[in-house]
Chain A
């Protein structure tokens, strides 16, 4: 553990300060290893603009499917023709792009002193507070489309039934790793308790 950590210390923003995974049970820690919480928290952050591309492409896929369905259906029906499919595709695609842009503008996360705050949603706006004391583990995930755009998602798990809801998409891999490391440190510093 120690070795790999020090090996990777150079490319980890907090690598040099990472506390070992095992803590002393009594909660006190050796002097000097206390993570500086002030350094880990930061101002409100937005996502990378490329995420709009990911979302737009995702909605384009559903636009194609809906367009095909509408096109086939209206070709068979008497009034209308394949052009209905094109119209449906265009409308859904335009809506999808508009939503992607709006969603990107609204999305924000904030690494605060004792909790992670997320704000998101175009039609239904959701603000989530995930206290560090409740963090079970933190994942970084990269889907194929995200990889194509050079993006990653950080997912924070709690024991709650909505645990998987706390995920932050649209980060560069470095930012995602950095956020994962920060959250890990903050969760350790918070001396969590899963309360289950």
Chain B
């Protein structure tokens, strides 16, 4: 099959737009052209014609075909590339349509596999109908590979759709509270000018600090609100057979499938504001995406905590959490670490006050020292892990608390590490590595600063449970295969032989 013919002008236009910045530089750089706009126009037209010719060849030399077991793609103008992607290996199938593509009725379809560092196959562009056909066809073929259920037209069941309220809250919750700490860092820098205005530096600080904080939060909330609405407008999550389907986006529409059989880890995260309001978000991670490709993994952008927990349990049936905390001596580590940082800050402020012409209220920084204690406690209090029968659950983070659910079956390697400082307190960090792309938090699932002996035992225990779940799956698969052989040959009295 070929791409949609309309993709030729659209792609050509896109490549011209992509080069537009060159044009801007050229126009600004050469004032001689200032007389008329004929120069730039000629460049644009010439560029478009060249791009059109190239894209026409690209279109002619691009072919794809969906067979029973593979998606075959032959592409390339100068260097040719023939690919066969086994359908059973396809992870996510995503469709995206920006405004231009929507105007032309086109869509881009991206296929992710676990191999490679980028999107495995990208069809740019096919008609929207063709994209949805491919998506559902891929889903159907994948299912046929695993179980032979002839029933096809399974309806979608809606799991979640975002309400206007949640969309608005998403903006508020999306504010990065760490911005506030930037404000406190910036304030001493602007303090001298404030002092001139107010006479008393402390008074100036007292008046402007809350104002600045409110201002920053307001601007950030507005910005993140706009981004949230752009990304998650009309968000809808539904389930069809063993796939999750999502749709989202205001200007650029995204829709895609997340195969449940390929889920690596689940992450429930909530920042301070979301926790206060009783909300959380859910991310479903597969092995498909390259690290850093965070946006597409989000399964539920924001919903009430209980709903998120229910949804998460419908994907992976983990038990209610009974988190174990790291030992109290872990907290001492953080107290020391943060106190050292606070003392450093005091030192820097004092040095700047004494040796530069800037005047700081350096003694204000002393207030950071008690905050170090608070911070240490909050960090400690938000750590936890729970070793369940099928899953290991790991929790970390105060500003954004993330709870990661890792099925033993998805574990790739287990490791525990001890830094010099941890050794002194008999603490260790246990890292559970999966094939998931961990793009959302960019941090591996880990249990930070647990007892060293416990980490030692847990490492072996998790590896053992992995073995057990692999062999369980193997037995189940064999049994299923035998059953399906039996079903195919009803006349045979002894199908096993």
Residues of A within 8 A of B (CB): 26-27, 114-115, 121, 123-131, 133-134, 158-163, 165-166, 191-196
Cα–Cα, bound, A129→B465 (Å): 13
Report whether A130 and B466 are in contact in the complex, using a CB–CB cutoff of 8 Å: no
- Considering the complex, which residues of chain B in the window 390-441 have a beta carbon less than 8 Å from any beta carbon of chain A? 409-420, 423, 431, 433-438
Chain B residues lying within 8 Å of A192, measured Cβ to Cβ, are 470
Partner of A161, one of B435, B460, B467, B474: B435
The residue in chain A whose Cβ has the minimal distance to the Cβ of B436 is A161
Partner of B433, one of A27, A162, A191, A196: A162
Q: Output the least CB separation between A66 and chain B (Å).
A: 22
Cα–Cα, bound, A128→B417 (Å): 9
Partner of B466, one of A124, A125, A127, A133: A133
Report whether B467 and A193 are in contact in the complex, using a CB–CB cutoff of 8 Å: no
Partner of B417, one of A26, A125, A129: A125
Q: Output the least CB separation between A82 and chain B (Å).
A: 30
Chain A residues lying within 8 Å of B438, measured Cβ to Cβ, are 161
Most chain B CB inside 10 Å of its own CB: which residue of A123, A159, A193:
A159
Partner of A126, one of B411, B417, B423: B417
Report whether A161 and B291 are in contact in the complex, using a CB–CB cutoff of 8 Å: yes
Cα–Cα, bound, A56→B431 (Å): 30
B287 at the interface (CB under 8 A from A): yes
Compute the total of residue contacts between A and B using a CB distance below 8 Å: 99
Cα–Cα, bound, A194→B444 (Å): 18
B459 at the interface (CB under 8 A from A): yes
A134 touching B412 in the complex, CB below 8 Å, given contacts A115-B463, A193-B473:
yes
Report whether B467 and A129 are in contact in the complex, using a CB–CB cutoff of 8 Å: no
List 16 A-B pairs, Cβ < 8 Å.
A27-B474, A115-B463, A121-B417, A125-B418, A129-B413, A133-B467, A159-B435, A160-B433, A160-B434, A161-B433, A161-B436, A161-B437, A193-B474, A194-B114, A196-B114, A196-B264
Q: Output the least CB separation between B289 and chain A (Å).
A: 12
- Considering the complex, which residues of chain B in the window 109-166 have a beta carbon less than 8 Å from any beta carbon of chain A? 114
Report whether A131 and B434 are in contact in the complex, using a CB–CB cutoff of 8 Å: no
Cα–Cα, bound, A175→B291 (Å): 35
Report whether A193 and B470 are in contact in the complex, using a CB–CB cutoff of 8 Å: yes
Chain A residues lying within 8 Å of B264, measured Cβ to Cβ, are 196
Report whether A134 and B417 are in contact in the complex, using a CB–CB cutoff of 8 Å: no
Mask, B461-497, CB within 8 Å of A = 1, is: 0010011001001100010010000000000000000
The residue in chain A whose Cβ has the minimal distance to the Cβ of B409 is A195
The residue in chain A whose Cβ has the minimal distance to the Cβ of B418 is A125
A158 touching B470 in the complex, CB below 8 Å, given contacts A195-B435, A196-B264:
no
Chain B residues lying within 8 Å of A115, measured Cβ to Cβ, are 463
Report whether B478 and A27 are in contact in the complex, using a CB–CB cutoff of 8 Å: yes
Chain B residues lying within 8 Å of A114, measured Cβ to Cβ, are 463, 467
A131 touching B463 in the complex, CB below 8 Å, given contacts A125-B417, A160-B435, A195-B435:
yes
Q: Output the least CB separation between B408 and chain A (Å).
A: 10
Give me the 9 closest cross-chain CB pairs, A-B, nearest first. A160-B412, A160-B433, A196-B114, A159-B435, A196-B287, A128-B415, A126-B417, A196-B435, A158-B412
Report whether A162 and B413 are in contact in the complex, using a CB–CB cutoff of 8 Å: yes
Cα–Cα, bound, A3→B83 (Å): 31
Cα–Cα, bound, A22→B114 (Å): 23
The residue in chain A whose Cβ has the minimal distance to the Cβ of B407 is A195
Cα–Cα, bound, A162→B444 (Å): 9
Cα–Cα, bound, A26→B423 (Å): 48
B262 at the interface (CB under 8 A from A): yes
Cα–Cα, bound, A129→B444 (Å): 16
Mask, B446-460, CB within 8 Å of A = 1, is: 000000000010011
Report whether B262 and A196 are in contact in the complex, using a CB–CB cutoff of 8 Å: yes
Chain A residues lying within 8 Å of B114, measured Cβ to Cβ, are 159, 194, 196
Q: Output the least CB separation between A91 and chain B (Å).
A: 19
Cα–Cα, bound, A97→B264 (Å): 42
Q: Output the least CB separation between B284 and chain A (Å).
A: 14
Chain A residues lying within 8 Å of B434, measured Cβ to Cβ, are 160-161
Report whether B460 and A129 are in contact in the complex, using a CB–CB cutoff of 8 Å: yes
Report whether A194 and B413 are in contact in the complex, using a CB–CB cutoff of 8 Å: no
The residue in chain A whose Cβ has the minimal distance to the Cβ of B463 is A129
Q: Output the least CB separation between A102 and chain B (Å).
A: 12
Chain A residues lying within 8 Å of B470, measured Cβ to Cβ, are 133, 192-193, 195
Cα–Cα, bound, A166→B413 (Å): 9
Q: Output the least CB separation between B12 and chain A (Å).
A: 37
The residue in chain A whose Cβ has the minimal distance to the Cβ of B469 is A195
Cα–Cα, bound, A166→B291 (Å): 20
Chain B residues lying within 8 Å of A159, measured Cβ to Cβ, are 114, 287, 412, 435
The residue in chain B whose Cβ has the minimal distance to the Cβ of A116 is B413
Report whether B459 and A129 are in contact in the complex, using a CB–CB cutoff of 8 Å: yes
Q: A158-B412, A162-B431 are in contact. List 16 more A-B contacts (CB 8 A).
A: A124-B420, A127-B456, A128-B414, A129-B413, A129-B460, A129-B463, A130-B413, A131-B411, A131-B466, A159-B287, A159-B435, A161-B291, A162-B415, A194-B114, A194-B435, A195-B470
Cα–Cα, bound, A165→B438 (Å): 17
Cα–Cα, bound, A115→B481 (Å): 28
Cα–Cα, bound, A131→B408 (Å): 12
Chain B residues lying within 8 Å of A129, measured Cβ to Cβ, are 413-415, 459-460, 463
Report whether B467 and A131 are in contact in the complex, using a CB–CB cutoff of 8 Å: yes
Cα–Cα, bound, A105→B148 (Å): 56
Report whether B418 and A195 are in contact in the complex, using a CB–CB cutoff of 8 Å: no
Cα–Cα, bound, A133→B435 (Å): 14
Cα–Cα, bound, A175→B431 (Å): 29
Report whether B415 and A191 are in contact in the complex, using a CB–CB cutoff of 8 Å: no
The residue in chain B whose Cβ has the minimal distance to the Cβ of A133 is B470
The residue in chain A whose Cβ has the minimal distance to the Cβ of B467 is A114
A161 touching B444 in the complex, CB below 8 Å, given contacts A123-B420, A133-B466:
yes
Report whether A195 and B410 are in contact in the complex, using a CB–CB cutoff of 8 Å: yes
Report whether A160 and B413 are in contact in the complex, using a CB–CB cutoff of 8 Å: yes
The residue in chain B whose Cβ has the minimal distance to the Cβ of A193 is B470
Cα–Cα, bound, A128→B420 (Å): 18
Cα–Cα, bound, A193→B459 (Å): 20
Chain A residues lying within 8 Å of B466, measured Cβ to Cβ, are 131, 133-134
Chain B residues lying within 8 Å of A134, measured Cβ to Cβ, are 411-413, 466
Chain B residues lying within 8 Å of A163, measured Cβ to Cβ, are 412-413
Report whether B418 and A128 are in contact in the complex, using a CB–CB cutoff of 8 Å: no
Report whether A158 and B413 are in contact in the complex, using a CB–CB cutoff of 8 Å: yes
